[in-house]
Amino acid sequence: MISRRNIRVKVMQALYAIESMEESSTPAPGVKPSADPIKLLQKQFHISRQLFVYIIHFHNRSGQICRN
């Protein structure tokens, strides 16, 4: 469903956002100052999962249209 590469990228993005939030007074874009790292990562996975489902639906629908 979600490739290992995508998981690594999401984890690295979350870690970078958390580290930059801790080191500076201005948080990374899209990150609340009191963001929980686990919730942030789960949100990223949820967004990736939604995108995956949309792509599968799009391909399925395109195939249906081409058959007609």
Q: List the chain domain ranges.
A: 4-67
pLDDT of the residue at 61:
92
What is the residue-wise DSSP string for the chain? ---HHHHHHHHHHHHHHHHHHHHSSSPPTT--TT--HHHHHHHHHHHHHHHHHHHHHHHHHHHHHHH-
Residue 57's pLDDT is: 93
Structure tokens at 22: 């801790």
Which pLDDT value is given to residue 26? Answer: 61
Residues 31, 39, 32: CA angle, nearest 5 degrees: 20
Per-residue model confidence (pLDDT) at position 7: 78
Over residues 7-65, the pLDDT tens digits come to 788 788 888 877 777 666 665 566 565 567 778 778 888 888 898 899 999 999 999 99
